[in-house]
Amino acid sequence: MDKLSPEQRHKNMAAIHSKDTKPEMIVRKGLWSRGFRYRLNSPRLPGHPDLVLKKYRTCIFENGCFWHGHEGCSRIPNTNREFWEAKIKRNQERDIETQKRLAEMGWHCITIWECELKPSKREKTLKSLAFTLNKIWLEEHSVIGKPYPQLEEESGMLKAAEEQI
Ligand SMILES: [Zn+2]
């Protein structure tokens, strides 16, 4: 049974969401310290992404594992199970729809799950986020059909090979 009006629930959820802003700060700090610049909560884009990196054509969503139904991660409470299942399913469907719309507009989407920001996983998550962003940048800036710019090591090796011939 769910006795809250939609408006009340919205307020409740907003309070729960904003109470712990820590995961968001971890991502922001991690990106900033690595030289990435972003905008917060872009209201003009579908789904209001948490962070928008225009240079990388990328939207980042920081998802709470429970609300967005992180598979194999969060558990649905036995009390009001059907209600929660329906609610989380709606959120998941909305997430998919949002990412589809953003992709159609030429945006990349990255989802960071709350559990990936636990102290033990944080560094790895931020590292792979930076790696993914750089990869996206390379893809965006290479002409279709053209191979990726060679790594310095590789071109050095090619040169050495040419000199031998
Ligand atoms: Zn999770």
All structural domains of the chain with their residue ranges = 16-122
Note the pLDDT of residue 19: 46
Q: Which architecture does CATH list for 16-122?
A: 3-Layer(aba) Sandwich (3.40)
Q: In terms of pTM, does the model score above 0.85? A: no
Rounded to the nearest whole angstrom, what is the distance from the C-alpha of residue 149 to the centroid of ligand 1? 35
Could you tell me the distance, in angstroms and rounded to a whole number, from the CA of residue 54 to the centre of ligand 1? 27
Q: Please tell me the distance from the alpha carbon of residue 157 to that of residue 74, in angstroms, as a whole number.
A: 48
pLDDT in tens, 120-141: 999 999 999 999 999 999 988 8
Amino acid at 15: A
Nearest to 44 by CA among 115, 107, 96, 86: 107
CA of 104 to the centre of ligand 1 (A): 27
Give residue-wise pLDDT tens across range 55-82: 999 999 999 999 999 999 988 889 999 9
More confident residue, 122 or 151: 122
CA of 73 to the centre of ligand 1 (A): 5
How large is the angle between the packed helices 119-140 and 22-33, nearest 10 degrees?
Answer: 50
Asked whether the predicted pLDDT for residue 51 surpasses 50, the reply is: yes
Predicted confidence (pLDDT) per residue in 9-42, tens digit: 665 555 555 544 588 899 999 999 999 999 997 7
